[in-house]
Chain A
Amino acid sequence: MIIGTGTLLRIVRTWLYTNLNAQIRKALSGEPAFSYKHSEFLGSPFKPLHILSKPTPPPQNMATAVKKLLHPHRSRDEEKSGHDNQSSGHDRQDSASERAREEEKQNLLQWEEQKQPLEPGQIDDANHKTIGQSSNVLRQQDFELIKTLGTGTFARVWLVRLKDTNNGNENTVFALKILRKTDVIRLKQVEHVRNERNVLAGVAGHPFITTLVASFQDRDSLYMLLDYCPGGEVFSYLRRARRFNEATSQFYAAEIVLILEFLHEREGVAYRDLKPENILIDAEGHLKLVDFGFAKKVENRETYTLCGTPEYLAPEVIRNTGHGTAVDWWAFGILVYEFLVGQPPFWDQNPMKIYEQIVEGRVRFPSAMSSNARDLISGLCTVDTSKRLGNISGGAGAVKAHPWFQDIDWDSLYYRKVNGPIVPHLRGPADTRNFDEYEPESAEREPYTQDMSNKWDEYFKDF
């Protein structure tokens, strides 16, 4: 039985850039009139600048005063946008569907302006969540494609702006990931793409995971609208700095721990492609995990498809004995090592030699690495999953309790009470200076034929 012979497709996907999408903060969105109430009702501790709470405490007054002093225009803009959102219904369109589209676009705008992270309980509450929904009315034509943020074999991520909206603010931007159905099918990634959308929809709202604002499709493409994360990849910062100091590594590692804790223990999801390339920095210096192309809801069943990035593959993936969420803890150990050292512990020019080292699992540490860091990495990069930190009793809690993280205040981290160690310098929310330049999209495209449509549309119907 031979798979993948005919075509020259490389299952080795150049998926790497696929998801350089981006985000700033997570959020409640939805019905303009209700969204404030909603967040108030839930008592969200994320409440940012909106000072709608009952008796405004003096320090916030002061903050408002300072803000007004320094930037009088801004608060006026905020008030204005509030009005417009409420009056958006005035703008009559001809057809009902046009009205629905306009409304949806307004919702998107409003979400982007007010986004804030959700509490774990809200993220899980699919019935009340307005983000991550599949939209019947949005179309590519609703977006102005500004610049490519990343490319892959079958996907391209664009910085986009909503077109023709009443109060279109040019700083309100999103990342739009466009996948060509033909390529997805050709590269046998249909299942992975479905997993990606569903997992992202389920986790939308987490403070450190890219927010799927909406998804939609047309005849030959799939679209995922994500929040834009202007800081670029941790990868770029890491390579530029060669390595991170211990404090920076701890901060980033800690946010990743919160992500994994949430994905594994609340969602039953294994992410399966942790690496600096898939972690973006947002405007406040916090992380956003992107590219859920390999993420899968595994729950208590093991899974077998080999996927990931060579240096970060866990031994059980290589040996094909079945794997689960424990692979992320292994990769997390590799990641912390790479943060501190500047390169992963297992490397060779020949990938088979990398795998041989991984299966053997002997990590060598530079003499300067602190003993706590070594102990953490050794615990995570343990070949035997029944002894691997994160997978053993206590789960993510055992990782959080590790001495290397003793200075982390986990609650204030989740609620983003501290800024990240690298706060990107931006000219504005739509600044793309932290992303590389990419070749323009090639004009030739394989058509999505009627045959393909008959066979595959079924698989894409929920997108």
Chain B
Amino acid sequence: MSLPPDYSNEISALDREILKSQPHDVLQFCANFFLRRLESQRAEFLLAPQHSSPKGRGMAQSTFPGNNPFGKSNTSAFESIEEDDENDVVASPTASSFAPAVMDKAHPQPIAEEDTFGNFGNFAGFSGSAGAVKPPQSQPPSANPHEPQSFPNNYNLNRRTSVSAESLNPASSANDNWVPPFHPKTDEQQARLRSAVAGNFLFSHLDDEQSAQVLGALQEKPIPTKGIKVILQGDVGDYFYVVEKGLFDIYVNPSGKLENGPDGLGTKVSSVGQGGSFGELALMYNAPRAATVVTAEQSTLWALDRVTFRRILMDSAFQRRRMYEGFLEEVPLLSSLTPYERSKIADALETKKFPPGTTIIQEGDVGESFYILESGEADVYKRGNSKSLKRYQKGDYFGELALLNDAPRAASVISTSEVKLATLGKNGFQRLLGPVEGIMRRNDPSKAQHSDTVDPLSK
């Protein structure tokens, strides 16, 4: 005859606790243990979905907590759920953010914090001996200081689907010399496209070069007649479209996909005309289309596919990082960085552009940042000498001793052409890797003391 599995399970849990706590008063310990298990099992049972009716919860409140002389249940994991559901103000189904009145960044509530931390030690359930059992604690206040809150009720509570785009591998792109497609456009068309995508966050972060490549890659797609479905709801999405001319109607079928029959399109929700765009989610990954788009007249579109778009972004990011890493390897001050650290710094370098004649660093100022010249040229001047001492070109760097100390800049650097610089401040560097002194001391302890006296602009 075998014992019920529930029982065996409880006993092994007790075994573990006994081993862990090694109590003096074993009987008391076991009694406490079972009381706790009972309490937490009941609490969990009542939290189960089928018991979450207001009645059930009322019972949970009145029967279990506070009834137990041995303190809170060790499964005090669940916040009291009453106040939530009751206070949930029904938000508009389209509201996407919290009501401003209850959201604030600036005013934390210290009471809640203190008490919940106090409660924290309790999660282990019980401590070593019966004597150490904590007095009953009230419900953590964090359960209550919630003012009437209006979290949007429309949040999708289901399991969320993972998404994944095509695998992009920069290593192979370096070999096959991929060049983005280029479709010529008139200046006017360019300008229209530029303003059409200006409001789209996927485009607003692009630098000039990326932006030119992306706009160049847009391909013209004439749609000869009215009534053509350009994208189908529920279908796979690979292209993003900008309207060059014409008019498009957008339909949504509540079923989530285009159906057969006269009403298969669903309801018309809006129209898009010149300068408008649609299908941008396709630039992220292959998600089912959210709507059907039909031409209302003869029209022309610009189309851009995801792989081209993401590859343009990837290639330029990849090249820039490798270039920065290459530059950084040349800086003796940073020679002891590991490849990992170098790649972190490369990631953190910020690109800045200056017109010709800009004073990038000023002799006598306190140095804050370190610069690498990415393109263009700049001259070095010393006070009292109108002649340039040196000319910096692509890959040259200056101001790196600012990472090390606060000594004033020993010379000025002025751009002679338009320059593109990669720069990182002392704060940024230290935030990422800690003090430079420490990094330099790794290799050669004497080096750190030595370089304090080095001219900030010498190499």
Is the CB of B167 closer than 8 A to any CB of chain A?
A: yes
A42 lies within 8 A of chain B by Cβ: no
- In the complex, the answer to whether B281 meets A352 with C-beta atoms within 8 Å is yes
Stretch at the interface among B7-15, B62-70, B327-335: B7-15
Give CA–CA (A394, B435) in the complex, Å. Answer: 12
Interface size range of chain B in the complex: 35 or more
Contact B170 A304 (CB under 8 A): yes
Cβ contact within 8 Å between B205 and A359: yes
Complex Cα distance, B15 from A97, in Å, reads: 40
Chain A residues near B16: list those with CB within 8 A: 48-49, 284, 419
State in angstroms the CA–CA spacing of A73 and B307 once bound together.
63
A248 touches B77 (CB 8 A): yes
- Which residues of chain A come closer than 8 Å to B147, judged between CB atoms? 367-368
Interface window among B152-160, B241-249, B369-377, B414-422: B152-160
Q: Number of residue pairs across A and B with beta carbons under 8 Å? A: 354
Q: What's the minimum C-beta distance from B382 to chain A, rounded to whole angstroms?
A: 33
Chain A residues near B201 (CB, 8 Å)?
355-356, 359-360
Residue of B nearest to A63 (CB): B18
Tell whether, in the assembled complex, residue B119 and residue A247 are in contact, meaning their CB atoms are under 8 Å apart.
yes
A364 touches B307 (CB 8 A): no
Could you tell me if A366 and B6 are in contact, using CB atoms closer than 8 angstroms? no
A168 at the A/B interface (Cβ < 8 Å)?
A: no
In the complex, whether A251 has a CB less than 8 A from a CB of chain B is yes
**Pairwise interchain contact B285-A12, C-beta atoms closer than 8 A:** yes
Partner of B143, one of A8, A245, A387: A245
User: A11 to B321, Cβ gap below 8 A?
Assistant: no
User: Are B122 and A341 within 8 A (Cβ)?
Assistant: no
* CB pair B165 A306 closer than 8 Å: yes
Name which of B2, B3, B96, B167 has the most chain A CB atoms within 10 A of its CB: B167
- Report if A300-B343 is in contact (Cβ < 8 Å); known contacts: A11-B285, A418-B123: yes
Residues of chain B within 8 A (CB-CB) of A12 are 161-164, 285-288
B151 touches A304 (CB 8 A): no
Q: Which of A4, A244, A321, A393 contacts B238 (CB 8 A)?
A: A4
Q: Interface 1/0s, chain B 85-107, versus A by CB < 8 A?
A: 10000000010111000111101
Q: Known contacts A359-B201, A393-B431: does B347 contact A347 (CB below 8 Å)?
A: no
For the complex of A and B, 5 pairs with smallest distance between CB atoms? A371-B108, A428-B5, A370-B113, A386-B348, A59-B22
Among A60, A324, A421, max chain B CB count under 10 A is at: A421
| Interface hit among A132-140, A154-162, A307-315 | A307-315
Interface size class of A (residues with CB under 8 A): 35 or more
Chain B nearest CB, measured from A205 CB (Å): 20
In the assembled complex, B166 has its CB within 8 A of some CB on chain A:
yes
Let me know if B15 and A63 touch, CB within 8 A.
Answer: yes
- Flag if B165 contacts A49 (CB, 8 Å): no
- CB-contact partner of B140 in A242, A246, A426, under 8 A: A246
CB-based contact A343/B151 at 8 Å: yes
B229 within 8 A of A: no
Q: Report yes or no: B308 in contact with A1, Cβ–Cβ below 8 A.
A: yes
Q: Nearest A residue to B346 by beta-carbon distance? A: A302
Is B41 an interface position by the 8 A CB rule?
yes
Contact B305 A1 (CB under 8 A): yes
User: In the docked arrangement, what's the CA distance between A69 and B301, Å?
Assistant: 80
Cβ-based interface call for B363 (8 A): no
**Nearest-neighbor residue (CB-CB) of A359 within chain B:** B201
**CB atoms of A322 and B314 under 8 A apart:** yes
Indicate if B389 sits at the interface (CB-CB under 8 A). no
Check if A462 is an interface residue, CB within 8 A of chain B. no
**A2, CB-defined interface residue at 8 Å:** yes
| Extra inter-chain contacts (4) besides given A11-B285, A324-B343, A426-B9, CB under 8 Å | A5-B236, A304-B310, A342-B84, A366-B146
The interface bits of chain A over 265-295 (1 if a CB of B lies within 8 angstroms of the residue's CB, else 0) are 0000000010101000001100000000110
B317 and A348 form a contact (CB under 8 A): no
